[in-house]
Structure 1
Amino acid sequence: MNEIKVSIIVPIYNSEKYLEKCLESLVNQTLSNIEIILVDDCSTDNSKQIYNRYLERYENIVLIKNSVNKGPSESRNLAINISRGKYIGFVDSDDWVDIDMYKTLYNYAISKSCDMVICKMIEVYPNNIEKKIDTKGIEILEDKKDIISKFMKFEILAYSCNKLFKSELFRQNNIVFPNLRFGEDQYTTFITLYKSNKVGFLDEYLYFYNKRENSSTTDKFSLVKLDILKSINMIREFMVEEEIYLSFKYLYQFRYMFVLFGNIIDACIKELTFKEAQNVYIKIIDDFSYNMNDYNLNYQISNKNKIRILIFKKSFYVYYLIYRTIFKNKI
């Protein structure tokens, strides 16, 4: 029996509007010897009828049906456990990929002996508006310091979907996706990067990320988004265990600051009343103080952002008024 080259894992939950386009892009991949693992996470729409048509036609599709809704993280973990591919890829069921994506990534990974290969991606907004998401022009990274630095500075995106991972990364290091509803990729991507000996980058746009309305990344602010702080704190705990935290503390704080403000605080101020936003502030301020206790000494953070943090710490009311005005003027 021929070796499975790539296992493509697709968690499915109520994505009937987009699932056919996703599956079409996968069953038509130009790479041979792949398996497609679908995980139905208790969908209540017509997703089942759609993927059943593909199950009947394609022998390389495997189906897992969750008995209860487990979320994307646990669905991916279940699929990893049964996957047979030398490499693993992840696709969200409302996204799609270039038909040459996995052939391109796999051939590059094999030719360069990479543990992970990363391609560029295109965000697709309603009305088919596209935005190219660029990463820095790198080809190969082998130095752990460079890998950590580029991740912390957002030069390597935290998404799992635009990457091909050697399956041994997960199995030999017991890496799993944490049971979070938002920001789970951040932790897993960092750990797999850290455990990789060689990471390759392709200057090709192969993944199409559907920024649809009412998705977990585009809908209005909810407390679920606080999970991203759990994710980055898990990274800190890992770095402490590996005895590298002190060496990269300022880079970690740099990332923490942008994760906190970009994903939580700015969203609160744009969408919530002061009282609602203040309730969120109360929930996160201890975590902020724990992670940013000496931010004023951090040379990675600009003076402008240090002033921003100072106002945030001293008076959330003043901070809220300032940035509410800024955001309103940008509309």
Structure 2
Amino acid sequence: MVWNGFGGDEMKCSLLYDSRNDGDEILISYIIPLFNTERYVLEAIESISCASGKDIEIIVVDDGSTDNSANIVLDWMRNALLPCVLIKQPNSGPSAARMFGISYARGEYIGFCDSDDFINVAAFKKAISIAKSYECDVIFLRSVVFDSVTGESYDFYDTYWWDHILKDRGFAVVTATSAPAVFRLEPNANTRLLKRSFIEKERLSFPVGLDFFEDFTFHVAELAAAKIFMYDKTGYYYRVNRSGKLTEQKSAKRFDMLKSVDLAFKEASSRNVDLLGWSYIICIASRVMYWCGQNTLVKDRKRFFELATELIQKNVSKELYDTCMDTFIDKQERVLLSALKVGAVNFLVTHASEGRIRAIDTLPLMLSKDYGKASRDVVVKIFLFKVKSIFLYKKQ
């Protein structure tokens, strides 16, 4: 088959397997981009199938794998009891794989799963049974991080914000206006379900051409428009600490995050996100850009932070900056946003490299009348702490 993709580009894709029947009533279409995960992919698809009937379909889009992943999936699908599809596309990245999977999906809801993770489908189906009465567009469940080496599990990175929004409730129905802190939920597309009609209506898409961090743009666009159901159950298990995991490698691909953030800012602007919502977007964007800066190649780190500061300076007004500072962000985020706003590139590079910060590198922060207060407050507290420590030491 030939798929007329984004920007008018044509992509030759092969339909390797399709066990669906025209009369199947599909509740959820799970789309799995596949690339060289032969050791883990069976666990991913079996986690979906174990609690599923014929109302769930699995669509695997092989993104040009060079290992035995596609053959493993094909052998499994031939014996599966639920509807399955396997498509092969030339290596084009996860965004293209997801979008092609969406175009092929028949489900009322769309879900995503990385081919090395796994899902609690029963929890998502329970959430749907409640969320339908509220006519929600997007359904969120909590996630857990799973260490592939030790077998240990621990809370996902957005646990604080879940607790902040739910306030001990079993579920909540919110929007970006009523609870703008939803933008601080982890921008991972796998942690949620979306109504297929909502995706089509809002023309949501993952930016094709990005190998990493394509979720951030999608995250901002969907939440800006959605009625959201948050269900206080664990639905997704995110694997870390495995060999070959692309998002755990230092590489020039970290620059993709800057492109994704830029596109997310454009989405927020076009979808009329209010000032408070913008403040939460800016705070999480600053944090994820800094994290990517830490994990880019050393030779590229200065250029990365130069581009990051340009993004913040272009998109953050004085009013928005002040709103961010008044919003609940921690001490580190206050200094980080200040550094990005004043263009303290050397400070950011040294801090991200865990080097010894020179006094001269802090000058743009310390001397800024409009954006340096947060940094000065931190430095004063550190200075007072050191003086107190010296005083106590002398008393002993």
User: In the superposition, relative to structure 1, how do residues 284 and 10 fare at CA in structure 2: closer, same or farther (>3 Å)?
Assistant: same
Match of 2:77 in 1: 55
What runs of 5+ residues in structure 1 fail to find an aligned partner?
Answer: none
Match of 1:265 in 2: 293
1:281 to 294, 305, 309: 305
1:38 aligns with 2:63: no
The offset of 1:111, in angstroms, is 4.2
Match of 1:250 in 2: 279
1:23 to 22, 34, 45: 45
2:221 to 185, 191, 199: 191
Q: Which amino acid aligns with 2:195?
A: K
> What is the CA RMSD across the aligned residues, in angstroms?
2.7
Contact 1:39/1:79 (<8 A) preserved? yes
Match of 2:249 in 1: 219
The offset of 1:33, in angstroms, is 1.3
User: Which has the higher Rg, Structure 1 or Structure 2?
Assistant: 2
Superposed, 1:11-160 pairs within 5 Å as 11-58=33-80, 60-66=83-89, 68-125=90-147, 126-133=149-156, 134=159, 135-136=162-163, 137=166, 139-147=171-179, 149-152=180-183, 154=184, 156-160=185-189
Contact 2:141/2:191 (<8 A) preserved? yes
1:297 aligns with 2:322: yes
Matches of 1:189 and 1:314 in 2, distance apart?
27
- CA deviations on 1:220-262 (whole Å, 9 max, x unpaired) are 2x2212222222222221232234355644333323322222x
The offset of 1:74, in angstroms, is 0.7
Give 3-state SS (helix, strand or coil) of 1:15's partner.
coil
2:196 to 167, 173, 177: 167
Contact 1:29/1:102 (<8 A) preserved? no
Q: Which amino acid aligns with 1:189?
A: H
Q: Which amino acid aligns with 1:30?
A: S
Contact 2:172/2:231 (<8 A) preserved? no
Aligned length in residues = 316
Matches of 2:223 and 2:337 in 1, distance apart?
29
Q: Which amino acid aligns with 1:190?
A: V
Matches of 1:185 and 1:207 in 2, distance apart?
16
What runs of 5+ residues in structure 2 fail to find an aligned partner?
Answer: 1-22, 358-396
User: In the superposition, relative to structure 1, how do residues 25 and 296 fare at CA in structure 2: closer, same or farther (>3 Å)?
Assistant: closer
Q: Which amino acid aligns with 2:139?
A: V
Q: Which moved more, 1:52-61 or 1:79-88?
A: 52-61
Normalised to the residue count of structure 1, the TM-score between the two structures is 0.85
Normalised to the residue count of structure 2, the TM-score between the two structures is 0.72
Percent identity of equivalent pairs? 23
The offset of 1:99, in angstroms, is 5.0
Contact 2:31/2:111 (<8 A) preserved? yes
The offset of 1:76, in angstroms, is 0.7
Q: Which amino acid aligns with 1:150?
A: A
Match of 1:10 in 2: 32
The offset of 1:283, in angstroms, is 3.9
1:178 aligns with 2:207: yes
Contact 1:178/1:184 (<8 A) preserved? yes
1:205 aligns with 2:229: no
The offset of 1:291, in angstroms, is 2.9
User: In the superposition, relative to structure 1, how do residues 321 and 6 fare at CA in structure 2: closer, same or farther (>3 Å)?
Assistant: closer
Matches of 1:314 and 1:35 in 2, distance apart?
48
The offset of 1:190, in angstroms, is 2.3
